[in-house]
Amino acid sequence: MNKTREMKYSCPYCGREFDITVYESVNTEQDPDLRDACLSGDIFRHSCPHCHTDFMIQYPLVYADPAHKFVLWLTGTNAEEEAMRKYARVLVKQGYQLRRCSTVREFTEKIQIFEDGVSDIVVELAKYDSFIEFIDSRHGNPAEVTSVEYQNVTDGVMKINVRTDDKGLSFLIPINLLEEEIRAESDRFAINEEDFPLVNSDWIISLFMESSGQA
């Protein structure tokens, strides 16, 4: 179900306190309009009633999409983690994919990925390969990269954008090649859905660092 709460918040610009309403949970089946607000990140945007400055506030949020069978948890406290684990086994048995997200960007990207019916493990491998190719082909150095983003999948080909401050480069990668690599090393890429795993850039980098003995 959709659940909100009121909280006090101090404006990061003028310092004055005001009340805001934040969502603790969202169910897209009950309120489809909230899906758009989550995908755009607008659900995290607020405006100070005193200085009228707009800004984003990241707070713990559980997002359930029954139609596409996934639940996202934007990172909360350790106490919340214990509560989430209580429901994880039941959700997994019902066929849900469970993911934890550490940032709003990860959260919004996961919504798009799972709505597209794509494995986020495949996406993270594609993003990693695109980043390496971007560096190896001398398009830039690692410090210049500001983001590596999933765009879409068309006819079995995934599009990944690597961006810097002044340019961007798109990479097109056949999904079947990525899936073959994951199948060949299934133990490396294995995750436990009941743990609400973080499947993101830090996760994929750690896998390759471990295999090279750098972890």
**Domain shared by 104 and 125, yes or no:** no
In the chain, pLDDT over 70 holds for what percent of residues?
A: 94
Q: Which domain holds residue 107?
A: 3-115
CA distance 184 to 114: 23
In a domain, 47, yes or no: yes
- pTM score, whole prediction: 0.90
Q: What confidence tens digit (pLDDT) does each residue in 133-149 have?
A: 988 887 667 888 999 99
Please tell me the predicted confidence (pLDDT) of residue 144: 85
Q: Do 86 and 47 lie in a common domain? A: yes
Q: Compute the average pLDDT of residues 188-203.
A: 93
Number of domains in the chain: 2
Mean of the pLDDT values across residues 142-158? Answer: 93
Buried-state track 88-124, b at ≥16 Cβ within 10 A, e below 16: beebeeeebbbbbbeebebbbbbbebbeeebbbbbbb
139 in a domain, yes or no?
A: yes
Q: Is residue 202 part of a domain?
A: no
Q: In the predicted model, is pLDDT for residue 38 greater than 80?
A: yes
Q: Are residues 31 and 102 in the same domain?
A: yes
Provide the pLDDT confidence category of residue 175 given band limits of 50, 70 and 90: very high
Burial 129-159 (b: 16+ CB within 10 A, else e): bbbeebeeeeebeeeebeebbbeebeeeebb
| Shared domain check, 87 and 28 | yes
Give the pLDDT band of residue 213 (cuts 50, 70, 90): low
The pLDDT, as a whole number, for residue 77 is 60
Given 70, 86, 115, the domain boundary residue is 115
Q: Do both 7 and 108 map to the same domain?
A: yes
In a domain, 148, yes or no: yes
3-state secondary structure of 98: strand
Measured over the CA atoms of residue 181, residue 186, residue 192 and residue 197, the dihedral's sign is negative
Residues 75 and 33 in one domain: yes
Same domain, 135 and 37: no
Q: Is pLDDT at 215 greater than 60 in this prediction?
A: no
pLDDT tens, residue by residue, 93-117 = 999 999 999 999 999 999 999 999 9
Q: Are residues 171 and 76 in the same domain?
A: no
Amino acid 165: pLDDT: 84
Position 142 scores a pLDDT of: 83
Is residue 211 predicted with pLDDT exceeding 90? no
Same domain, 127 and 105: no
Let me know whether 9 and 93 are in one domain: yes
* 100 and 133 both lie in a single domain: no
Where among 84, 100, 115 does a domain terminate? 115
Non-local (6+) Cβ contacts of 192 within 8 A are: none
| Same domain? 111 vs 151 | no
Q: Residue 7: its pLDDT value, please?
A: 92
Mean pLDDT of the chain: 91
Contact 51, 38 (CB under 8 A): no
Range name among 19-33, 44-58, 131-145, 185-199 with the lowest pLDDT average: 131-145
Specify the pLDDT at position 139. 66
Distance between CA atoms of residues 207 and 189, nearest Å? 8
Rounded to an integer, what distance in angstroms lies between the CA atom of residue 41 and that of residue 207? 29
Query: How much is the pLDDT for 140?
Result: 66
What is the C-alpha separation between 164 and 142, in angstroms, rounded?
Answer: 10
Read off the tokens for 73.
């948890």
Residue 198 lies in a domain: no
Whether residue 193 lies inside any domain: the answer is no
Domain assignment of residue 196, yes or no: no
Q: Is residue 210 part of a domain?
A: no
Q: What is the pLDDT of residue 214?
A: 59
Tokens matching residue 102: 């550490």
